Chains A and B, each alone.
Chain A
């Protein structure tokens, strides 16, 4: 079987990094709305954002295929401008982004909620408008928690399998990430040593990401402690 371990690791890293990077602004925006907003439909927004967490990844993949497939209006439009989604790396990134979005939002929401609102009140009382207050007080104070969200979204993107398999397929050198490569090797006869390498790489990356997540979470707690 043609299967390159380095290519799988590289594709996983690309997918993880791209999903974390593309998700940062929307995840922060939605997290802020859920943490601080008062509006009708907040629980609906929360449910929609969290849905990929409870939906079977295969179902999420099928829904994504409905939205981004070449026969759908949106997917067709993307295809027309040279950004086809199904069976491309972009598809893998979108799958990782959507499936990882709930943990992304939840981590950042927690970080924003941990910021004492009275800091924002002090800022506004000093004449700084609400949007600038978010930029100068809320987000800097929540920064380590936001970074923890980035790390977690990256790690979740690394391991994405179900939705990716549906929308991006399992194409060597194009969409075959670590998880898909391991799956492909399950069909290979005998004990393929590449499996061990992939499992090792996957575990090492996940472990490093979680250590980073933990360190950032501790930094977040310290940042908000005046008497630390």
Chain B
């Protein structure tokens, strides 16, 4: 069998209460659901290499990112992390944000996400939904090995949400980029045909 898309065998101390995660998945899209405050976003940060409090093993597509002796720094993991609030670079225009770490042509991605008319604007002149789309685009343009999406559609209305999720899912399939998606709304996971893991009292279980 091929290497798993993602293997997480980590223990995380979240405010004193340990979260024990044992997740191995071969799926192209993995959905992580659970109540807020359960540690979903923190787990994304662990995979991105931004969370030093996690102890254990992290591996992606056969590449070891973390164990007792190894810690691959974030910039060498080449993940496309899209935090919940997007965090567009405020000093750059939409075009410059997309181009920031682009390894592929940004025009098709801007078109896919419907942000082409916004290219010359600054983030402060965008709505919440527009910012989320640009943040998604910035991650896609970097041609990541793994997309880490943290509630990426939360600022969008229901109809746009479903359409955008379908577009992103299609792009990821076409480019063979696996996705780890965190959400509290499982309807977001439908277009991705994601394997669903639920984070709960002290652990993560496959549904």
Contacts and interface: CB of A to CB of B under 8 A. Distances in A.
Interface of A: 116, 118-119, 121-130, 133, 136-137, 140-141, 143, 223-228
Interface string B69-96: 0000111111111010001111100000
B90 A128 contact: no
A116 B124 CA distance: 16
B90 A223 contact: yes
B101 A126 contact: yes
Given A141-B90, A223-B91, A126 B124 contact: no
Contacts of B73: 124, 130
Contact of A122 (B76, B81, B144): B81
25 contacts: A119-B87, A119-B89, A122-B81, A122-B87, A122-B89, A124-B50, A125-B48, A125-B49, A125-B81, A126-B75, A126-B138, A126-B139, A127-B78, A128-B100, A128-B101, A129-B75, A130-B73, A133-B75, A140-B91, A141-B90, A223-B90, A223-B91, A225-B124, A226-B88, A226-B131
Contact of B91 (A118, A128, A141): A141
Contacts of A123: 89, 100-101
Interface magnitude class on chain B: 20 to 34
B91 A124 contact: no
Contact of B50 (A116, A121, A133, A140): A121
Nearest to B126: A226
Judged by DSSP, the binding face of A is: helix
A124 to B, nearest CB: 4
Given A121-B48, A127-B76, A227-B124, 17 more contacts: A121-B50, A122-B83, A123-B89, A125-B49, A125-B74, A125-B79, A126-B75, A126-B80, A126-B100, A126-B144, A127-B75, A127-B78, A128-B101, A129-B75, A133-B75, A141-B90, A141-B91
B138 A137 contact: no
B152 interface: no
A108 B79 CA distance: 31
Contacts of B81: 121-122, 125-126
Nearest to B48: A125
B123 interface: yes
Nearest to A122: B87
Contacts of B29: none
A227 B100 CA distance: 21
Nearest to B122: A226
A148 to B, nearest CB: 16
B165 to A, nearest CB: 21
A133 B73 CA distance: 13
B19 interface: no
Given A123-B101, A126-B101, A126-B138, A224 B74 contact: no
B87 A128 contact: no
Given A123-B101, A125-B80, A126-B101, A228 B50 contact: no
A126 B77 CA distance: 9
Contacts of A125: 48-50, 74-75, 77, 79-81, 148
Interface in B123-161: 123-124, 131, 138-139, 142, 144, 148
B74 A121 contact: yes
Nearest to B143: A127
A119 B91 CA distance: 11
